[in-house]
Structure 1
């Protein structure tokens, strides 16, 4: 059974619904990771627009970064979406760091490979997520097991 590689869920929202905490679950088939991040719709909109541009062939690669890769911050997440070859494959390089103290710290870099239609699925669901129509989403079914 195929399982989505990315699950995003709102776990806390401020009083104005403008700032929230997300729980992101990544699954590659070989490893899994959970990362909680604080963000807002503006940051998610940048992700959605960049991924949409990639899906529409306006660019061959898109890098989205949230947080900073320095000490004393809440998180670091980098997602690089890129076209693989000419058959409609899309690679996603994920680098995630929860910035917690040892022994709870986790830093991982891994890749997901999917198809272009899954990128369309992600942008559609992310758009609904940003509008507040849904509070969680699952997307990016892996192409290779």
Structure 2
């Protein structure tokens, strides 16, 4: 059975649950990256709304970033959703940088290829995640054009 390419888990919450740390695990057939980021529901809602607009064809592509791609920050994560080919496939370009010092630093850029229905599944689960109905999310099963 195919495994989800994206797993998100809340690993730390502040006292009023408005700010938290997430563990994101991305896995493709060729690589896997695990990164922790600090964020809040407002930023996750921007991700959800942007992906929903993309999946309903209101945008040709959507880019979401967390953190900054500069020195002296805790992380950088970028997810770009775009149409891949003309058969209903969606590409997701992921760039993850943990911004740690060598030898612990990791920077990776890779792509996931999935179908539009998986994008809808992702936004539905992300909505439940934001509402606090679930604390772990698994989604985006990969598809490959033959």
CA distance in structure 1 between the aligned counterparts of 2:137 and 2:78, rounded to whole angstroms: 19
CA distance in structure 2 between the aligned counterparts of 1:144 and 1:57, rounded to whole angstroms: 21
Which residue of structure 2 lines up, in the alignment, with residue 2 of structure 1? Answer: 2
Q: TM-score, normalised by structure 1?
A: 0.98
Which residue of structure 1 lines up, in the alignment, with residue 76 of structure 2? Answer: 76
Q: CA deviation at 1:63?
A: 0.2
Q: CA deviation at 1:144?
A: 2.0
4+ runs deviating over 4 angstroms:
none
Q: TM-score, normalised by structure 2?
A: 0.97
CA distance in structure 1 between the aligned counterparts of 2:36 and 2:5, rounded to whole angstroms: 16
Which residue of structure 2 lines up, in the alignment, with residue 17 of structure 1? Answer: 17
CA distance in structure 1 between the aligned counterparts of 2:117 and 2:56, rounded to whole angstroms: 11
CA distance in structure 2 between the aligned counterparts of 1:82 and 1:28, rounded to whole angstroms: 17
| Structure 1: segments with no counterpart, 5+ residues | none
| Structure 2: segments with no counterpart, 5+ residues | none
Matched, 1:65 2:85: no
CA distance in structure 2 between the aligned counterparts of 1:99 and 1:70, rounded to whole angstroms: 9
Q: What is the total number of aligned residue pairs between the two structures?
A: 145
CA distance in structure 2 between the aligned counterparts of 1:115 and 1:20, rounded to whole angstroms: 30
